[in-house]
């Protein structure tokens, strides 16, 4: 499989130097085929991986958007490891998508700038220059659908860059960050203003199984860190609670529990960790908060 991916990629590059403009469609088809083979080789395909388009599309049911939760997030946050940086990137895309639903263009521009910073931290910032410009232009026009499209393409561009670098773990973590943030906001929205339509989205255990599997394939050293063990535990608890619904919308009581678990999971994903992956106890943290995040320094 890897040999075929390399073959198609090399063929596309070689032909790009000799094809006429009329043959440009052939070049694009070859490049697309190369990308598809590469993604299949690395375990990223429509069957095994959730589509960012589908994931974000589901967020449209969570109106009114709990913008207070989005405003409380630190868009300037930086991390000392690639995993949290990748997850934060996905989280920002989810926030940006939800902000388009709330029609807050100024906030979307700030998210766009934050995405550029995070992509540079991941080493793929050059691919986002053009995409960011399109996002800002759509924002200036008040083109909400256009902004959502650009946000989807932004995540797809960075994911593709990660795959080209053979950094498939981080490509999956970008998706995980986006899903987790969307689930957190969705759970809060459902708990605050319950509806069966919203509740049905929260009961999707298949996507939870996918991300639990991705977390399980991380490097053993990374799996033992406070952040990954806590995050994995919370998602397992979310999955178990969602499974109780047995394919039906979760109940208001279950939605409230899912909200609390999702808030804990997002707190773990964005918590500061030391070089060994241990949670750093924030100044003034209460014993309850510390216990929820399993701070090893306590």
- Model pLDDT, residue 4: 40
Residue 31 has pLDDT above 80, yes or no: no
- pLDDT tens-place string over residues 202-237: 999 999 999 999 999 999 999 999 999 999 999 999
Residue 5 has pLDDT above 60, yes or no: no
**Number of Cα atoms under 13 Å in the Cβ half of residue 234:** 25
Answer yes or no: do 102 and 141 share one domain: yes
Q: Which has the higher per-residue pLDDT, 20 or 150?
A: 150
Q: Which has the higher per-residue pLDDT, 51 or 137?
A: 137
- pLDDT tens-place string over residues 276-287: 888 987 654 444
**Among 156, 194, 133, residue whose Cα is nearest residue 56:** 156
Q: How many domains does the chain have?
A: 2
Answer yes or no: do 5 and 96 share one domain: no
Phi, psi of 110 (to 5 degrees): -65, -40
Answer yes or no: do 120 and 137 share one domain: yes
Answer yes or no: do 30 and 54 share one domain: no
Residue 16 has pLDDT above 60, yes or no: no
At 104 the three-state DSSP class reads coil
3-state helix, strand and coil shares in percent for the chain, rounded to the nearest 5: 70, 0, 25
- pLDDT tens-place string over residues 127-155: 676 777 788 788 888 898 888 888 888 88
Among 36-50, 58-72, 86-100, 105-119, the minimum mean pLDDT is found in 36-50
C-beta separation of 26 from 19 below 8 A:
yes
- Model pLDDT, residue 150: 87
Answer yes or no: do 209 and 78 share one domain: yes
Among 5-14, 19-28, 38-47, 102-111, the minimum mean pLDDT is found in 5-14
Answer yes or no: do 136 and 225 share one domain: yes
Answer yes or no: do 31 and 46 share one domain: no
Answer yes or no: do 47 and 33 share one domain: no
Question: In the chain, what is the straight-line distance between the N-terminal and C-terminal CA atoms, in Å?
Answer: 48
Answer yes or no: do 214 and 81 share one domain: yes
Answer yes or no: do 144 and 100 share one domain: yes
As a whole number, the mean pLDDT across the chain is 80
Percent of the chain at pLDDT > 70 equals 77
Q: Whole-model pTM?
A: 0.78
Dihedral sign from CA coordinates of 155, 161, 165, 166: positive
């Amino acid at each position: 499989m890897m040999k075929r991916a390399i073959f198609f990629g090399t063929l596309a590059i070689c032909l790009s130097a000799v094809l006429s403009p009329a043959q440009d469609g052939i070049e694009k088809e070859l490049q697309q085929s190369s990308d598809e083979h590469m993604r299949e080789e690395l375990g990223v395909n429509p069957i095994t991986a959730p589509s960012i388009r589908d994931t974000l599309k589901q967020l449209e049911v969570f109106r009114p958007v709990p913008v207070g939760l989005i405003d409380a997030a630190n868009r300037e946050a930086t991390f000392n490891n690639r995993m949290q940086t990748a997850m934060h990137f996905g989280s920002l895309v989810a926030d940006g998508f939800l902000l388009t639903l709330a029609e807050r263009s100024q906030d979307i521009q700030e998210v766009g700038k934050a995405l550029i910073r995070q992509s540079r931290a991941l080493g793929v910032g050059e691919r986002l220059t053009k995409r960011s410009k399109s996002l800002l232009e759509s924002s200036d026009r008040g083109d909400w659908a256009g902004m959502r499209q650009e946000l989807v393409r932004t995540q797809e561009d960075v994911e593709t860059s990660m795959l080209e670098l053979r950094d498939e773990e981080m490509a999956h973590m970008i998706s995980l960050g986006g899903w987790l943030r969307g689930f957190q906001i969705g759970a809060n929205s459902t708990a605050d203003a319950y509806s069966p339509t919203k509740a049905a989205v929260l009961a999707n255990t298949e996507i939870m199984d996918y991300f639990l599997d991705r977390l399980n394939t991380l490097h053993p050293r990374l799996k033992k860190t406070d952040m990954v063990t806590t995050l994995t535990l919370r998602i397992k608890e979310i999955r178990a609670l969602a499974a109780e619904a047995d394919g039906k919308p979760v109940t208001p009581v279950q939605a409230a529990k899912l909200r609390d678990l999702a808030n804990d999971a997002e707190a773990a994903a964005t918590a500061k960790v030391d070089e060994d992956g241990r949670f750093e106890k924030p100044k003034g943290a209460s014993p309850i908060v510390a216990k929820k995040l399993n701070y090893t320094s306590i």
